[in-house]
Structure formats: C-alpha cells, structure tokens
C-alpha cells in the first residue's frame, strides 16, 4: 500500500508493507511511528529505524526535526498514536472484519474466560486465535512470539497478529482487552461482535489515578464504535451499573449473567468435587444445561457462564445440543497459572498457583480452595499501585489460616519495604477482625514457598498467589528465572516429599 493511499497525500510516496512503533522491530518496508515517551521521543531512533528498512516515518510536530534528518518521507500528525490503529488495520487488510471478534475486559478473569471461550468454540468446530496475557494461541496451540506489551498488544502488533491468525484459518479471534489498551487506543479500528465484562476491583490506579477513571476506561469498550453486543456479570455492582447505562441508551444488545439473581444466563446448582472440578447446572437463555468445569471456585463458574453466553449471543442459532456440546468442552480446559493444581502426590497438601494480584482476586482464590486449612504465599509488585498492598494483606488474612508474605516482582523497590506494607495490612485485619490468622514475613519467594510447605499438613491447601504463569521475577533491573509451580515441586523434593505417582 502506498503512503499516499494511507494518508491521502504525502511529501514523497513510498510503498508500505508493515508498521511498528518499536525501532528494534522494524522490518524492511515498515512505516515507523515515532511517539513521544516518558524519557525519550521515538524520533531519536529514526535513523536506526531507517537503517533497519523503514520507508517512512509518522510522528508529531515535536519529532519532526529529528525525523526529517533520516532521509525518508515524514508525515506529521498532532496525535500519531490516535492514527496508528486505523493505519495498522489498513496495512494488514482489516483482518478483524473477516473473523468473529470476541473481547473480554474486567479486573480479574480475562485470561480464564478467553481460554474457556476457546474450549467452547473448538468443541463446536471453530478455528480460533487467542490474544492475551499469557501469550498467543491458534486452535489451542501456543504461538512463538516476541511480546512488546502485556495483555493487549499495541495496534501494529495486534493487527499483524490478527492478519496472521486469519491467514492460518482462524474464523474467531478471542482477545483480552485491558484498561490500558482502551485508553491508549490499542484495539481501536476493531468493532467486536461481542464484549464481556467479568468484574471490577482495585487495580492499576498508578495509571488511571482513581477508581472512577479506571471504571470509565473499562466501560468505554461498551460503545457502538467498539462492540455490537455485551455480556455483563450482574453479581458485580459495577456490572449492574453498566447494564443500567447500556439499557438506558439502547445502543447495544445486552445480556446478563449471574450465579444467583434472575439473569439471561445463570447457575441453578453448583457441586464441588474433591478433585477440584465443579459440577454446574445452569439455565442459558431458557435452556437447561449441565456440565463439568475443570476449575474450582464460584468466580470460575462466572467465567464459564460468561464464555457460553458470548458464544450463544454471537451464534444465535445454536441448538440445545450445540450449546450442550460447547459447555461440555469446558470440562477439559486448563489455564496456566490460573488456579493451576500442582500435584505433589499422595499425602501432600493441595497446592494451587494463581495469578491473583488484587484484593478481590486474593479473596476469590482462597474461597475457591474449599473448607480446608489454608496457607497463602503472597507478594505485591513494586513500582505499581502501592495503595493496594495493605488491602491485599487484609484479604489474605481474612481468607487464610497462615499468611506467608513474600516478594512478587519488586522491580526497583526495596523488597523488604513492600513486604512490610503487606504484613501491616494483614496484621491490622487480624487485630480488627479478631482473627486467629498467623502472619509471617517469609522473605524471598523461594524461602517463603519452602516455609509454607513445611507448615502444611496432608489435606491442607497451599495457595501461591500473584505470579501465576510468569516464569521470571523482576528484581533490581534484572529478570531472574523463576516459576512458582517449578519451585513448589523443587522445594517439596528437597524436604523429602515424594512426587506424584
């Protein structure tokens, strides 16, 4: 596609075959988007981008002087980021228009819901592409990719990925859409066939500033420009608020989901198995469906019902048999680092690894482990919203018998200072709630996991929360290899425990 076709006019024409905002990822034929940053302007890297094959540069007036020294056509826009998503969609052939597009937003549950969507759609014979926090998948298989953002990629990477998924035969794309992505326009130029709201809790206030701004960012997905239909969890107060707003405007088709209240999609009975699975009886838009969910906890049942509601709402001609087949597909779904069972064999405690990193998610994860003695290993990331540390400690103290506070990703902060804030929140909850919970500073994460296993008795639950699927730990400018699940197995072996038979 020519530069003139993309912009209507250009200082000099050039043939553009790709787009990127990272000078390190430029490929020959790319349009390089030079954006202003916190410490550097992207135009500072214009020469490097051109040397790597960039044929043109898009930047703002502040970037013009440096960009024009690079020797390729330069297009100036006051807000190049705002233009980037539609440009990327054009360059890659608007792939989202050729697939059924599913979006999931919410503080917690985005990853699990998209994986359950994938399982349901594969059971119905669809070909799926998945884009989310853990990575990218095609028909359930992991795709190798160099990630540049977390959860929702920047629009150039996203549109290129959607183009690839479509070329490989995907007819449905399932996306986690973060609040950051919505504010920064990463998913602009896509109108989703259905969008879901899982829940709302405290998170990302370092970026949004306050909870109202954070909610407004989430709610912005549910507009005619961004979605055609909506599935909303009305067990969440913010979900009810969103439903009231959408029903008042009548702009979107809205369906509701609940575990208890009258809703379009609701559970009628839940039964927890000793193996961590959940038997679910539900009424889905008037049709009774029973299925097994291979994940514990009420919140995962909500995720499952949300996924089924999205499928039913988009493919409105599903028969009862097809809907039952989609629900049956959820039984085998497993999600790395999302209430992931680490099997240590007979006589061992039940160990779960989960990504819970908000007060709401900590409480839900602990509640999902059943009526057992609970030991939780918990940290909180550095250089992020400090105000959630004490509430996370309080949630852990309220839901566990023993809280072992540890490091998450301290980043540039002092790990002991972060732990002290979590310990203070837990200790305060113990005092005010007159709880018997034991609160310990477990030190570094490996030591804390070892201590939790030493304290556990057969049949106890050990919940290792915060990092989930992550296989690294960011500390003082370095990313060190670290996996919670692997460390649990390693420490169990070292203390003389037997592995699973």
The CATH number for 367's domain is 3.90.190.20
Residue 420 contacts by C-beta under 8 Å, 6 or more apart in sequence?
Answer: 441
Q: Is residue 88 part of a domain?
A: no
Q: Is residue 180 part of a domain?
A: yes
Q: Out of 52, 78, 104, pick the residue that ends a domain.
A: 78
Residue 368 contacts by C-beta under 8 Å, 6 or more apart in sequence?
Answer: 296, 297, 298, 299, 300, 339
Q: Are residues 328 and 346 in the same domain?
A: no
Look up residue 390 and give its two tokens. 């004490």
Q: Is residue 111 part of a domain?
A: yes
Q: What is the pLDDT of residue 402?
A: 98
CA distance 94 to 88: 8
Q: What is the pLDDT of residue 420?
A: 98
Is residue 439 a contact partner of residue 426, using CB atoms and an 8 Å limit?
Answer: yes
Q: Is residue 176 part of a domain?
A: yes
Q: Is residue 90 part of a domain?
A: no
Look up residue 142 and give its two tokens. 């992991």
Is residue 405 a contact partner of residue 378, using CB atoms and an 8 Å limit?
Answer: yes
Q: Is residue 485 part of a domain?
A: yes
The residue to which tokens 């030493």 are assigned = 454
**Secondary structure of residue 498 in the 3-state scheme:** coil
Strand 56-59 relative to strand 74-76, pairing: parallel
Q: Are residues 355 and 457 in the same domain?
A: yes
Residue 20, domain extent? 3-78
Q: What is the pLDDT of residue 293?
A: 95
Q: Out of 285, 309, 332, pick the residue that ends a domain.
A: 332
Q: What is the pLDDT of residue 500?
A: 47
Q: Are residues 67 and 116 in the same domain?
A: no
Q: What is the pLDDT of residue 149?
A: 46
Q: What is the pLDDT of residue 204?
A: 67
Q: Are residues 435 and 472 in the same domain?
A: yes
| Sites in the chain below the pLDDT cut of 50 | 148-149, 499-501
Q: What is the pLDDT of residue 208?
A: 65
Q: What is the pLDDT of residue 275?
A: 72
Is residue 398 a contact partner of residue 364, using CB atoms and an 8 Å limit?
Answer: no
Q: Are residues 144 and 240 in the same domain?
A: yes
Looking at the structure of the chain, the number of domains it has is 3
Q: What is the CATH number of the domain that holds 56?
A: 3.40.1390.10
Q: Are residues 191 and 294 in the same domain?
A: yes
Q: Are residues 119 and 262 in the same domain?
A: yes
Q: Is residue 89 part of a domain?
A: no
Q: Are residues 61 and 116 in the same domain?
A: no
Q: What is the pLDDT of residue 150?
A: 67
Q: What is the pLDDT of residue 34?
A: 97
Q: Are residues 290 and 189 in the same domain?
A: yes
Q: What is the CATH number of the domain that holds 226?
A: 3.40.1190.10
pTM exceeding 0.75: yes
Q: Out of 306, 332, 358, pick the residue that ends a domain.
A: 332
- Within 10 angstroms of residue 251's Cβ, the number of other Cβ atoms is 16
Q: Are residues 72 and 101 in the same domain?
A: no
Q: What is the pLDDT of residue 385?
A: 87
CA distance 229 to 226: 10
The residue to which tokens 């702009």 are assigned = 251
Q: Are residues 347 and 276 in the same domain?
A: no
Q: What is the pLDDT of residue 332?
A: 87
Q: Is residue 83 part of a domain?
A: no
Structure confidence by residue, pLDDT tens digits, 60-119? 999 999 999 999 999 999 999 999 999 999 999 999 999 999 999 999 999 999 999 999
Q: What is the pLDDT of residue 63?
A: 97
- Within 10 angstroms of residue 326's Cβ, the number of other Cβ atoms is 27
Q: Are residues 151 and 235 in the same domain?
A: yes
């Amino acid at each position: 596609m020519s530069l003139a076709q993309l912009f209507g006019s250009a200082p000099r024409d050039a043939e553009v075959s790709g787009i990127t905002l990272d000078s390190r990822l430029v490929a020959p034929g790319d349009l390089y988007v030079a954006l202003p940053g916190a410490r550097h302007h992207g135009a500072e890297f214009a020469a490097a981008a051109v040397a790597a094959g960039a044929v043109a540069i898009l930047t703002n007036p502040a970037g013009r002087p440096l960009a024009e020294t690079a020797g390729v056509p330069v297009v100036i826009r006051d807000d190049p980021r705002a233009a980037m998503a539609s440009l990327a969609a054009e360059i890659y052939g608007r792939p989202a228009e050729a697939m059924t597009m599913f979006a999931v937003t919410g503080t917690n549950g985005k990853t699990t819901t998209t994986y359950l969507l994938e399982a349901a759609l594969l059971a119905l014979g669809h070909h799926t592409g998945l884009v989310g926090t853990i990575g990218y998948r095609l028909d359930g298989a992991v795709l190798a990719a160099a990630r540049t953002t977390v959860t929702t990629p920047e629009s150039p990477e996203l549109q290129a990925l959607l183009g690839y998924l479509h070329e490989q035969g995907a007819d449905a794309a399932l996306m986690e859409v973060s609040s950051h992505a919505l504010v920064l326009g990463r998913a602009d130029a896509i109108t989703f066939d259905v969008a879901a709201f899982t829940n709302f809790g405290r998170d990302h206030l370092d970026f949004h500033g306050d909870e109202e701004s954070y909610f407004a960012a989430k709610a912005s997905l549910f507009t005619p420009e961004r979605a055609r239909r909506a599935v909303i969890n009305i067990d969440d107060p913010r979900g009810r608020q969103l439903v009231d707003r959408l029903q008042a405007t009548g702009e979107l088709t809205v369906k509701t989901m609940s575990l208890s209240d009258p809703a379009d999609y609701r559970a009628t009975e839940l039964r927890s198995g000793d193996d961590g699975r959940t038997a679910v009886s539900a009424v889905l838009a008037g049709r009774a469906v029973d299925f097994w969910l291979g994940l514990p906890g009420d919140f995962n049942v909500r995720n499952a019902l949300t996924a089924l509601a999205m499928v039913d709402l988009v493919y409105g001609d599903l028969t009862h048999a097809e809907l039952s087949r989609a629900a049956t597909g959820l039984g085998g779904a497993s999600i790395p680092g999302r209430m992931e069972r680490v099997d240590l064999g007979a006589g061992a405690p039940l160990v779960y690894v989960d990504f819970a990193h908000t007060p709401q998610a900590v409480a839900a994860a602990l509640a999902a482990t059943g009526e057992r003695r609970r030991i939780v290993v918990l940290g909180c990331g550095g250089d992020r919203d400090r105000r959630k540390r004490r509430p996370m400690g309080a949630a852990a103290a309220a839901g566990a018998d023993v809280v072992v506070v540890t490091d998450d990703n301290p980043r540039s902060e002092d790990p002991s200072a972060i732990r002290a804030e979590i310990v203070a929140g837990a200790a305060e909850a113990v005092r005010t709630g007159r709880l018997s919970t034991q609160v310990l500073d477990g030190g570094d994460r490996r030591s804390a996991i070892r201590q939790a296993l030493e304290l556990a008795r057969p049949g106890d639950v050990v919940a290792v929360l915060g990092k989930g699927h992550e296989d690294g730990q960011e500390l003082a400018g370095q990313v060190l290899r670290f996996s919670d699940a692997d460390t649990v197995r390693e420490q169990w072996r070292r203390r003389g425990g037997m592995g699973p038979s």
